[in-house]
Amino acid sequence: MPQRSREFSAPAPVVGLASWVFPGAGYWLLGQRARALTVGFTIIALFFLGLLIGGVRSLEVPGYSGKAKQIRVSTHIERRNGQEVAVTHAGDDVEEGPWVLASHPLDEIRSKPWSIPQIMAGPIDILCSVWSLHASEPQPGTEKPSGTRPHSRTNEIGVLYMAVAGMLNLLTIIDATFRAVQR
Angle between helices 12-21 and 153-182 (to 10 degrees): 160
Determine if the pTM surpasses 0.85.
Answer: no
Query: pLDDT per residue over 105-155, tens digit each?
Result: 677 777 778 888 888 998 998 888 888 877 777 767 776 666 666 667 888
**Cβ neighbours of 67 (radius 10 Å):** 11
* Domain extent listing, the chain: 12-64+99-182, 66-98
Q: Which residues neighbour 34 within 8 Å (Cβ) at sequence distance 6 or greater?
A: none
| Per-residue pLDDT, 61 | 75
Q: What's the rounded Cα separation, in Å, for the pair 91 and 142?
A: 23
Query: pLDDT per residue over 69-118, tens digit each?
Result: 444 455 666 777 777 766 665 554 444 455 555 566 677 777 778 888 88
Element (H, E) at 84: strand 83-93
Eight-class DSSP state of 57: G
128 close to 115: Cβ distance less than 8 angstroms: no
